[in-house]
Amino acid sequence: MQHRFSLLSIALVFNILATTLLSCDSATTTRNATDPGTPPFTPAAGTTAAASPGAAAVAQQASAPATTAGAPTPDSLHLLSPGRAGRLRLGMREDRIKAVVPAHLLRATTYQDRGQTLPAYEMRDAQRPDAPPTVLHLIGDSAQGFRLRRIRIYDPQYRTAEGIGVGSPFGAARQNLGLTKVRDTPAGFAAVSGEVQMAWLIDPKSLPNKQPQQISSAEIPPAARITGVLLYQ
């Protein structure tokens, strides 16, 4: 009799424990439709939420120049970078220029600099002969030889890796490539970026009705069109 009573007591205890566990599980998983629950990744008061997967990579890329939306991507022959335009680089000797550019694409000309007449070339583009020529300014003398001093670009095929070139808005150049100063040049009013050694010629129709020396960089509308790119050293 005592043995049967012990077995009955044990069975009763197991039954009570099972009922209790089922009740607790139901309470933790049931949610009313009007209860949104606690949002995931919510930090405790006074702490910072942990970054979601991939956030660190996005943050690292934030400072990298972004390609301007809708801008054409240049090929290697039309890529602009500090001191370089395609296969040409500033400081290149004249004979080297003639070695990389076919003779029929070069037309000899001159330019004026502080009372001096110096040699230059107008360079046509083999892919688009109708495009505005690129102007190559040389410096030096006949005894020491001439080298490439400046490059003036009016051909919209030439672009930076960010897609900025002739036809781009000035605001895109300023945001991606910086701005050091503005100045009036023989080629026109230009915004200069010392960081990439490029200057952006601004469409005069977009500028205030002032003398060039009176125009500040803040007065250039972000939507003002770039009409030329100057590479210099």
- pLDDT tens for 106-165 read 999 999 999 999 999 999 999 899 999 999 999 999 899 999 999 999 999 999 999 999
Of 211, 213, 212, 229, nearest to 170 (Cα)? 229
Phi, psi of 136 (to 5 degrees): -110, 115
How many Å apart are CA 199 and CA 181, to the nearest integer? 9
Tokens 């490439």 label which residue? 148
Decide if 167 contacts 156 (C-beta within 8 A). Answer: yes
Are the C-beta atoms of residues 21 and 13 closer than 8 Å to each other?
Answer: no
Say what the pTM is. Answer: 0.69
The domains of the chain are located at 76-153, 159-231
Q: What is the rounded CA–CA span in Å between residue 124 and residue 105?
A: 5
Summarised one tens digit per residue, pLDDT across range 29-54 is: 333 333 333 332 223 333 333 333 22
